[in-house]
Each structure stands twice: as C-alpha cells, then as structure tokens.
Structure 1
Amino acid sequence: MSLSVALQVAQSALAARQTETSTVSRNIAGAQDAGYSRKSVLLSTVISESGQTSGLQVEGIGRVTDDALYASLLQSTAVGTSQEAILEGLEALAATIGDTSLEMSPSALLGDLKTALQNAAADPNDTILAQDLLSTASDLVTSLNETSETVQGVRADADADIADSVDSINELLGQLEDLNTVIVRGNQSGNDITDALDSRDQVLLALSEEIGITTLTRTDGDVVVYTDGGVTLFETTAREVSFEPTNTFFGTTTGNSVYVDGVPVAGVDAIMPTTSGRLYGLTELRDEIAPTYQSQLDEIARGLIESFAEADQSGGGGPDQAGLFTWSGSPAVPATSTLSSGLAADIQINANADPDQGGNLDLVRDGGISDPLDPDYDYNPTDLAGYTGRYQDFLDALDEPRVFDAGVELDPTDTLTGFASSSVGWLESNRQSATSDLEVQSVIVSRTAESLANTTGVNIDEEMTLLLDIERAYAAAAKLISAVDNMLDDLLASAS
C-alpha cells in the first residue's frame, strides 16, 4: 500500500469516527425522548480502480426498527383507547345506580314502592300511609326522569368528545402529510431522515389512539394509512375526516356518523366501520350502550304505567287509561310489548291523585285517577274506607310476568321488578367486563411498548462502551497518520 493510499485510509477513518461519535452523542441525548429510536452510521469500504481498499465511506444514518412490534403497538393502543372510552361512559352510567344502600336507583325505589303498597293495603284508611305511597311513587318517577337525563348527558358528552377526536385526527393527518413529504424528499436527495421517521411514528401512534389504523410503507419511504375498516385515511395527502355534532340528545335522538372522504366509518350508518380507537369507543357508547340502557329505563316506565293503569269497571269495554303513573300521551296507555323511546323522561305522577297539585289522594285507593268525573273507572263506588282491592291489584301487577321489548338485551318475559333488577345487573356486568378488559389491554400495551423500546431504544451503557471503541479506533487512525507523516519526513530528508 502506497503512503498516499494509507493517508487516504486514515483520513476517511477519522471522518467516519467523527460521524460515529456525533451519532452516539445524538443517541445519548435522545435516550429519554419518547419515540426516539437508536441511530447508527452506515459505512462501506471504498475500493479503488485498481481493486485496492482505499478507506471508509459514510453512506448515511440508519435507525433501528421493528415493524412487527410497531404494528402490534398501533393495534393494541387503538383497542385500549376504545375500551377506556367505553369504561368512562359506563362509570358515568353506573352513577345512576349509586350506592345500593342509598336506594336511589329505579330498581331500589321500585322495591320501596312495593313496601309502601303493602303498608297501605294493611290500613287503606290511613292518610299518612297513603301519602307515603304517593311520595315513594314520586321518588321513583324522579329517579327515572333524572336517570334518563344522565343517560342522555353521557351521550351528549360522547358526541362532543367525538367532535374533539375528529379535530385531533385531522390535525394529526396534517402533521403526517408534512413529515411524509420531508421523508420522501429526503430519501430522494440522500439526506438524513431518521428524526423525521421517529416523528412520523409518533404521529401514527397518536393517530391510532383516536382511530384504529393499518399502515403500508412504500419503497421511497412514503406511507399509506388505512382505517382498520379498510378506508384510505392518508395517501400522499390527508383525507378529510368530517363530523357534525348534535347539540342536545333525547331518547329518540340518533347521533351523526363520522365520515372519511365521504365514507361513513363510525356511527349507525357506517358501511366500513372502524373497530378500535377512541372514536369507536365513543360511538359505541353513544349509539349502542347508552341507548340500550335508556331503552331498559323506558320499558320500566312503560311497565309502571301498565301496572297502575285503570280498566273500565262498567263492563262497557272502554280502553284502559293511565292511572297513578301517566305520560304525555295520556289518558291512553303506551302500546303493550312495544318500546316507547324516551318514556322514562316523560313519565310523571298523575296530578289528579296528588293533593299538592289539587288532586285527591283517595283516588289511589279507589280508582278513577284518569278521570275523577267518569264513574266507569271507579273501583270503589261505595267509598269503603277499608277497600284494599286496588292496592292488591297493584302488587299483583308488579309481580306479574309481562312482555318487554326483545331488543333491550334482557329477559323479555320477566316481572317488572325482575326486569328492573336485571337492568342493574346488566349495567354492572358491562362495567366490570370493561374494567377487566381495560386492565388486560393496558398490560398488553405496556409490554408491547416495553419490547419495542428494548429493541429500538437506546441503552446508555452500550452507547458509552461503543464510544470508547470509537475513541480507540480514532486514536489508531491518528497513529497511522502520524506514522505516514514520519515516513514522509524520512523520505524528504533522505532525498535532500
């Protein structure tokens, strides 16, 4: 090897070690940064035209990646955030049950109503017991009204959170477009794009929290992003994600769908639905879980109106009419075995039986609440003070199997009290299941993130060891240059 070639080899080695030193320092500085992946210098050997090794060449900066682990992290993160959104909603709905010892849920108050009926039946002439019965019935109505309001509040909050999620998705897609452009151009020009790749991975991870995604990376570093339902979310440019919020929710309100480039991906109209991410969890809560619970409450309200409805006592075949519990459609009784959406918010105490509203408390015992002036619905025409027949009718009706709507995920042929208890069990079962699922998913996300960090992250001890090796290699190259310098000095001295 000639002295000039040896000098060239030493110089290229020094330049390579300088780049390696800078890269190691960069790794150490970024070791604690979220999403930072370890960088390394890509070196190649330079071969001269004569076939001799003539030094090292820096080809670029590489980064450690694990596509399988990263894809798993995206998926597990999306599942975890959807479960978190569902659990938060279920926790809010569970507040309608409250502490069972406080007995403020519709199911608990229905039990209190039975007790009040039994007490009133034992002494039907006792005004205090009758007033207690009316008060308990009023508490039950209030509970149904307020619980219904809470359910619709949960839906409204979920709808607002959907709007926030859509805003976040659009913002992240904008960031992704900028970073993707930098990466593609950097690949074409040979610039270092490793930091941009790290940033893009972090944007994609944040995007997966909002909506489940899958990714495809093309040869030029360009990335294509799809929803987990198969709709293109990003390809060269970001697709528009749109959503129209609903200001107020009632039992009959249907929330709007979320669209990606005009395709509904979340909501009741979704044709290519997403199956994970916060967006999915929120729409599931708004459109499935909360409405199902609302329907159960509506069926409890319908069962109450039916149980306390008044029949024609004249034999004339008149229609049943709403009694102690009534609604906006009175005096008619809601259609049997048919869900009346929003009924739990609409149910009320009949003013004709409430002294505070100018009514007559004795009508609870005697009947005729629907129309005190119509004798056909009077169960106690002789006004017997000890008449207990009506109270017993109420008790029998509460324990009588009836047909409920089959779409509320409970036994459609239960008693009213059994149905109300099952509703509590349904809500608690879903909450406990969501809690368990989230705990498991949190572990999966944590372990996946840890494995990815162990694979692609920076180990300070290893970097410091590598830095020592680079220093030794740098010193060796410097010695080679010194040796070549001495040899050149000797040659010049001998030539003179």
Structure 2
Amino acid sequence: MSLSVALQVAQSALAARQTETSTVSRNIAGAQDAGYSRKSVLLSAVVSDSGQSGGIRTEGIGRVTDNALYTSLLRSTSVGTSQEAVLEGLETLAQTFGDTELEQSPAALLGDLKTALQNASSDPNDTILAQDLLNSAKDMVDVLQRSSSAVQTVRADADAAIANSVDQVNKLLGQLEDLNTIIVKGTQSGHDVTDAQDSRDQVLLALSEEMGITTLTRADGDVVVYTDSGVTLFETSAREVSFAPTNTFSAATVGNAVFVDGVPVVGDDAVMPLSSGRLHGLTELRDEVAPTYQSQLDEIARGLIESFAESDQSGGGGPDQAGLFTWSGAPAVPVTATLSVGLAADIQINANADPDQGGDLDLLRDGGISDPLDPDYDYNPTDLAGYTGRYQDFLDGLDAPRVFDAGVDLDPTDTLTGFASSSVSWLESNRQTATSDLEIQSVIVNRTAESLANTTGVNIDEEMTLLLDIERAYAAASKLISAVDAMLDDLLAVAR
C-alpha cells in the first residue's frame, strides 16, 4: 500500500468515526424521546479499479426498524381505542341508573311499585296508601324518562366525540402529508430523513388510535395509508374525511355517517365500514349499544302501559285503553309485541288519577282512569270501599308472561319484572365484558410497544460501549496518520 493510499484510508476512517460519534451522541440525546429509533452510520468500503482497498465511505444514516412489530402495534392500538370508547359509554350508563341497590334502575323502581300495590291492596280505602302507590308510579315514570334522557346524552356525547375524532384525523393527515413530502424529497436527494421517518411513524400511530389503518411503503420512502376496510386514506396527498354532527338526539334520531373521500366508513350506510379505532367504537356506542338499551327501556314502558291498561267492562268489546300509565298516543294502547321507539321518554301518569292535576285517587281502586265519564271502563260501579280486584289485576299484569320485541337482545317472552331485571343484567354484563376485553388489549398494546422499543430504541449502555470502540478506532486512524507523516519526513530528509 502506498503512503498516499494509507493516508487516504486513515482520513476516511477519521471522517467515518466523526460521523459515528455524532450519531451516537444523537442516539443518547434522543433515548427518552417517544418514538425515537436508534440511528446508525451506513458504511461501505472504497475499492479502486484495480481492486485495491482505499478506505471507507459514509453512505448515510439508517435507523433500526421492525415492520412486523410496528404493524402489530398499529392494529392492537386501534382495537384498544375502539373498546375503550364503548366501555366509557357503558360506564356512564351504569353509573347513572344501573345500580339496583341504590334504587336508581327501572328494575328497582318496578320492585317499589309492586310493593306499593301490595300495600294498597291490603287496605283499598286508605288514601295514604293510594297516594304512596301514585308516588311510586310517578317515580317509575321519572326513572324511565331520566334513563331515556341519559341514553340520548350518551349518544350525543359520542356524536360530538366523533366530530372531534374526525378533526383529529384530518389534522394528522395534514402532518402526514408534510412529513411524507420531506421524506420522499430527502430520500431522492440523499439527505438524512430518519428523524422525519420517526415523526411519521408517530403520526401513523396517533392516526391508528382514531381509526384502523394499514400502510404500504413504496419507493423513495413514500407511504400509502388505507383504512382497515380498504378505503384509501392517504396516497401522495391526504383524502378528505368529513362528518356532519347532529345537534340534538332523540330515540328516533339516526346519526350521520363518516365519509373518507366520499365513501361512508361508519354509520348505517357504510359500504366499507371500519372495524377498529375510536371512530368505530364511538359509532358502535351511538348506533348500536345505546339504542339497544333505549329499546329495552321503551319495551319496559310499553309493558307498564299494557299492565295497567283498562278493558271494556260492559261486554261491548270496546278497545283496551291506557290507564294509570299513558302516552301521547292515548287512549289507545301501544301495539303489543312491537317496539314503540321513544316510548320511555313519552310515558306519563294519567292526570285523571293524580290529585295534583285535578284527578281522583279513588280511580286507582275503581278503574275508569282512561275516561272517568265512561261507565264501560268502571271496574267498581258500586264503589265498594274494600274492592281489591283492580290492584290484583295490576299485580298479575306485572308478573304475567308477555311478548316483547325480539330485537332488543333480551328474552322476548318474559314477565315485565323479569324483563326489567334482565335489562340491568344486560347492561352490567356488557360493561364487565368490555372491561375485561380492554384490560387484555391494554396488556397486548403495552407488551407490543415494549417489544418494539426494545428492538428499535436506544440502550444507553450499548451506546457508551460503542463510543469507546469508536474512540479506539479513531486513535488507531490517528496513529496511522502519524506513521505516514513520519515516513514522509524520512523521505524528505533522504531527498535533501
């Protein structure tokens, strides 16, 4: 090896070690930064046309990646945020009226109503017991109305959260477009783009919290992003994600869809629906979980109206009419075995039996609440003070098997009491299942993130050891330069 080649080798080694030192310092500084991946210097040997080694050359800066772990993290994050959104809604419902021990649920108030009926039946002429019965009936109506209102509040909150999530998605897509442009241009020009790649990975991870995504990396570091259902979300430029929030919710309100580039991805009209992510969970809560519970409340309300309905006592075959519990469609009784949407919010106490509204408490015992002026619905025409038949009818009606709508996720053939209890159990069961699923998913996310960090992150001890190796290599290159310098001095001395 000639002295000039030796000097070239030493100089290239020094330059490479300088770059490596800078990169190690960069790794140590970024070790605690979220999403930072370890950087390393890419080196190659310089070989002359004659095949002689001429040193080393720095080809650029690379970063440690693990596509399999990163893809798994994206997927598990999306599933976790979806489950979390549903669980938060279920917990709100459960905290509001799901505790039978605190007598906040429809099932608990139905039990109080039965007790009041039994007490009133023991002394049908006692106005205090009759008033207690009326108060229990009012409490029952109140809890159904409040429960229905709470369900719609949960739906409205979910709808507002969907709007916030869509805003976040569009913001993240804008950041992704900027970073992707930097990466593509930097890759083409040979610049270091590893920090931009780290930032892009973090943006994609944040995006996966909002909706399930899959990614594809193309030439020059370009990335394409799809929803987990296959709709293109980003390709060179961001696609528009749009959503029109709903200001007010009732039981009959249908929430709007979320569109990606004009394609509905959540909602009843979704042709390529998301299967994970916060948007998926919020939509499931808004359009499935909460409406199902609302339907159960509506069926409880229908069961009450049916149980306390009055029939024609004259034998004339007149239609049944709403009695103590009534609704906007009175005097008719809601169609049996058929869901009346929003009935839990619509149910009310018949003013004819409420002294506060000018009514008569004796109608609870005697019947004729639907129309006090119509003798055909009077069960106690002789006004017997000890008449208990009507109270017993009420009790029998609460415990009689009846047919409920089959689309409410409960046994459609049950007593009203059993149906109300099953509704509370349904809510609690779903909450416990969601809690368990989220706990498991959280472990998966944490373990995956930890594995990814162990694979791609910075180990300070390893970096310090590498720094010592670089220092020794730097010293060796310096000695080679010193040796070449001494040889050149000797040559010059001989020449003189």
TM over 0.5, yes or no? Answer: yes
Provide Cα deviations, 1:18-68, integer angstroms capped at 9, x if missing partner: 000000000000000000000000000001122110111000000000000
Contact 2:119 2:129 in 1 (8 A): yes
Q: How does 1:212-223 map to 2 (within 5 A)?
A: 212-223=212-223
| Aligned match of 1:199 | 199
What is the SS of the residue equivalent to 2:96? coil
| Aligned match of 1:416 | 416
Provide Cα deviations, 1:241-297, integer angstroms capped at 9, x if missing partner: 000000000010000000001100011111100000000000000000000000000
Are residues 1:242 and 2:242 paired?
A: yes
Q: How does 1:87-106 map to 2 (within 5 A)?
A: 87-106=87-106
Distance 2:409 2:99 in 1: 24
| Aligned match of 2:28 | 28
Q: How does 1:372-451 map to 2 (within 5 A)?
A: 372-451=372-451
Distance 1:344 1:416 in 2: 14
The Cα shift of 1:97 comes to 2.8
Q: How does 1:78-117 map to 2 (within 5 A)?
A: 78-117=78-117
| Aligned match of 1:251 | 251
Distance 1:43 1:369 in 2: 93
The Cα shift of 1:471 comes to 0.4
| Aligned match of 1:490 | 490
What is the SS of the residue equivalent to 2:21? helix
Report the AA paired with residue 236 of structure 1: T
Report the AA paired with residue 60 of structure 1: G
| Aligned match of 1:54 | 54
Distance 2:105 2:51 in 1: 88
Distance 1:64 1:403 in 2: 63
| Aligned match of 2:327 | 327
Contact 2:211 2:278 in 1 (8 A): yes
| Aligned match of 2:340 | 340
The Cα shift of 1:101 comes to 2.3
Report the AA paired with residue 24 of structure 1: V
For structure 2, which runs of at least 5 residues remain unmatched after alignment? none
Provide Cα deviations, 1:124-155, integer angstroms capped at 9, x if missing partner: 01111100000000001000000000000000
| Aligned match of 2:14 | 14
| Aligned match of 1:167 | 167
Provide Cα deviations, 1:409-432, integer angstroms capped at 9, x if missing partner: 000000000000000000000000
For structure 1, which runs of at least 5 residues remain unmatched after alignment? none
| Aligned match of 1:73 | 73
Q: How does 1:252-401 map to 2 (within 5 A)?
A: 252-401=252-401
| Aligned match of 2:43 | 43
| Aligned match of 2:137 | 137
Report the AA paired with residue 140 of structure 2: L
| Aligned match of 1:469 | 469
Distance 1:183 1:320 in 2: 74
Distance 2:133 2:184 in 1: 75
Distance 2:431 2:329 in 1: 34
Contact 2:83 2:281 in 1 (8 A): yes
Provide Cα deviations, 1:394-422, integer angstroms capped at 9, x if missing partner: 00111111000000000000000000000
Distance 1:9 1:220 in 2: 31
Report the AA paired with residue 45 of structure 1: A
Distance 1:142 1:217 in 2: 57
Distance 2:434 2:265 in 1: 23
What is the SS of the residue equivalent to 1:233? strand
> TM-score w.r.t. structure 1 length?
0.99
Provide Cα deviations, 1:79-121, integer angstroms capped at 9, x if missing partner: 0000110000000010233443221211001011111111111
| Aligned match of 1:123 | 123
Distance 2:249 2:99 in 1: 27
Contact 2:337 2:404 in 1 (8 A): yes
The Cα shift of 1:220 comes to 1.8
Distance 1:98 1:338 in 2: 25
Distance 1:114 1:37 in 2: 66
Report the AA paired with residue 266 of structure 1: V
Contact 2:98 2:424 in 1 (8 A): no
Distance 1:457 1:122 in 2: 76
Distance 1:318 1:311 in 2: 7
The Cα shift of 1:490 comes to 0.7
Distance 2:227 2:175 in 1: 17
Report the AA paired with residue 495 of structure 2: A
Contact 2:124 2:365 in 1 (8 A): yes
Report the AA paired with residue 432 of structure 1: Q
The Cα shift of 1:75 comes to 0.2
Distance 1:276 1:365 in 2: 55
Report the AA paired with residue 188 of structure 1: Q
> What root-mean-square deviation, in Å, do the aligned CA atoms of Structure 1 and Structure 2 show?
0.6
What is the SS of the residue equivalent to 1:406? coil
Report the AA paired with residue 427 of structure 1: L
| Aligned match of 1:190 | 190
Distance 1:208 1:248 in 2: 29
Report the AA paired with residue 129 of structure 2: L
Tell me which stretches of 4 or more aligned residues in structure 1 moved more than 6 Å: none
What is the SS of the residue equivalent to 2:97? coil
What is the SS of the residue equivalent to 1:407? coil
What is the SS of the residue equivalent to 1:220? helix
Aligned length, in residue pairs: 496
Distance 1:127 1:95 in 2: 36
Provide Cα deviations, 1:425-460, integer angstroms capped at 9, x if missing partner: 000000000000000000000000000000000000
| Aligned match of 2:230 | 230
Distance 1:409 1:347 in 2: 22
Report the AA paired with residue 69 of structure 2: L
